[in-house]
């Protein structure tokens, strides 16, 4: 009923467990006859080595923990997909944790993963997180840690981030090249590095082209709820923005919707640019110009970096920081 063990095989075949163990792994010192005998018996009785026992011996479970802030989200699900593919191809299992943008849950996830004695952890922090004592705990427990996207600046560890600065810079410069000059920035809370880097890219592009950096053109607006509140206000400005550079595709989509129903033509009067290149960019009307973040690649790169660290292949001391290049994808929401 329960699984058959090495001992069972040994008993049945009048051999010692050690011989059976060796026979199963084709140890050279075992006679062909014995090997065949053992392997045939194992096959017939569907013997499966007990992973748990192995894990206890080696104190390794070939498992990577991953903490995602919000899985119902194009970007993060893409990253997870990349992580999974890379992990699987290297023989690692994935323990999935979901902070749901909640600090307490994030802390609990970390505890769970440390407790499970995973070989390494891939994490992106929640929007709420302000302390990082729990992440430090990971490091203190000698567990490899790689942050992706939403990195925690307080912890000195490997990370993989999108080149937010360049992504924003290039997008804004493109908007300028099409004749936009009053470009609004809809960002995220400045406590997140990604928000700051994008703002800097945005501002530097304006500076380079001698456009003014106006305070009223820069707002925190990273959810549909905020969009409904903030965007109508900005459309009231005189002169109104002639372009919106948005922190994500969803906000950009709402931005188009709100602007259209306020009577503005897109892209003729107002250009809108998103960030991520999720599937919504193809179903809005017009389709949405956006910055591709290559989430899948980020996942693969992060997983690979972590695995290399675990296996001692990434020998570089100090911390490694990988940058994922972005690509501006021009669709229909920006003027030509």
Partner DNA sequence: CTGAAAGCGCTAACAT
Partner DNA sequence: ATGTTAGCGCTTTCAG
Chain contacts with DNA (rule: CB under 7 A): 2-3, 5-7, 14-19, 21-22, 24-25, 27-34, 47, 49-50, 52-54, 56-57, 59
237 lines the binding site for a second copy (CB under 8 A): no
Among 26, 51, 131, 153, binds a second copy (CB under 8 A): 51
Residue 280 DSSP label: G
The entry of a second copy, DNA, none near residue 124 (CB within 5 to 8 angstroms by kind) is none
Q: How far is the CB of 320 from a second copy (least distance, A)?
A: 23
Nearest-10 Cα torsion for 289, 295, 296, 298: 140
197 vs 276 by CB, closer to a second copy: 276
The entry of DNA, a second copy, none near residue 114 (CB within 5 to 8 angstroms by kind) is a second copy
DSSP, collapsed to helix, strand or coil, labels residue 193 as helix
The entry of DNA, a second copy, none near residue 21 (CB within 5 to 8 angstroms by kind) is DNA
Q: How far is the CB of 213 from a second copy (least distance, A)?
A: 29
Q: How far is the CB of 295 from DNA (least distance, A)?
A: 38
Q: How far is the CB of 64 from a second copy (least distance, A)?
A: 10
Non-local CB neighbours of 314 within 8 Å, separated by 6+ positions: 305, 308, 320
Nearest to 248 by CA among 271, 217, 227, 265: 227
What is the helix (H) or strand (E) element at residue 329, kind and residue range? strand 327-329
Nearest to 79 by CA among 125, 122, 114, 143: 122
DSSP 118-174: -SEEEE---SS----HHHHHHHHTT-EEEEESS--TTS-SEEEEE-HHHHHHHHHHH
Binding string, 257-286, against a second copy, x = CB under 8 A? Answer: x--x------------------xx-xxxx-
The entry of DNA, a second copy, none near residue 98 (CB within 5 to 8 angstroms by kind) is a second copy
**Distance (Å) of CA 151 to CA 193, 289, 317:** 7, 26, 19
Helices (H), 180-294: 193-208, 224-236, 249-261
Near a second copy in 119-178, by CB under 8 A: 140-142
Residues that bind a second copy (CB under 8 A): 1-3, 46, 48, 50-53, 55-56, 59, 61, 63, 66, 71-74, 77-78, 80-81, 84-85, 88, 93-98, 100, 105, 108, 112, 114-117, 140-142, 224, 250, 253-254, 256-257, 260, 279-280, 282-285
């Amino acid at each position: 009923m329960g699984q058959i063990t090495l001992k069972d095989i040994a008993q049945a075949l009048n051999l010692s467990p050690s011989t059976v163990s060796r026979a199963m792994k084709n140890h050279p010192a075992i006679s062909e006859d014995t090997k065949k005998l053992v392997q045939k018996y194992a096959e017939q009785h569907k013997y499966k080595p007990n992973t748990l026992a192995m894990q206890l011996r080696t104190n390794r479970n070939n498992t990577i923990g991953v903490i995602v802030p919000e899985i119902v989200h194009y970007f993060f699900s893409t990253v997870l997909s990349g992580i999974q593919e890379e992990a699987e191809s290297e023989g690692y299992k994935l323990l999935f944790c979901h902070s749901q943008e909640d600090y307490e849950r994030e802390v609990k996830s970390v505890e769970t993963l440390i407790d499970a004695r995973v070989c390494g952890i891939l994490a992106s922090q929640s929007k709420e997180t302000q302390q990082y004592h729990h992440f430090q705990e990971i490091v203190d427990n000698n567990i490899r840690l790689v942050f992706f996207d939403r990195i925690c600046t307080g912890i000195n560890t490997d990370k993989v981030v999108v080149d937010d600065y360049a992504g924003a810079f290039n997008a804004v410069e493109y908007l300028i090249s099409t004749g936009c000059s009053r470009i609004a920035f809809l960002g995220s809370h400045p406590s997140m590095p990604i928000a700051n880097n994008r703002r800097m890219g945005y501002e530097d592009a304006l500076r380079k082209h001698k456009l003014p950096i106006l305070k009223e053109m820069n707002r925190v607006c990273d959810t549909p709820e905020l969009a409904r509140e903030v965007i109508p206000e900005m459309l009231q400005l005189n002169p109104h923005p002639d372009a919106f550079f948005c922190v994500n595709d969803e906000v950009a989509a709402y931005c188009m919707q709100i602007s259209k129903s306020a009577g503005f033509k897109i892209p003729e009067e107002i250009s809108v640019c998103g960030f991520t290149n999720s599937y919504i960019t193809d179903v809005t009307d017009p389709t949405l110009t956006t910055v591709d973040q290559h989430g899948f690649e980020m996942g693969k790169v992060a997983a690979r970096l972590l695995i290399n660290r675990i296996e001692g292949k990434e020998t570089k001391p100090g911390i490694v920081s990988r940058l994922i290049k972005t690509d501006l994808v021009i669709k229909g929401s920006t003027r030509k």
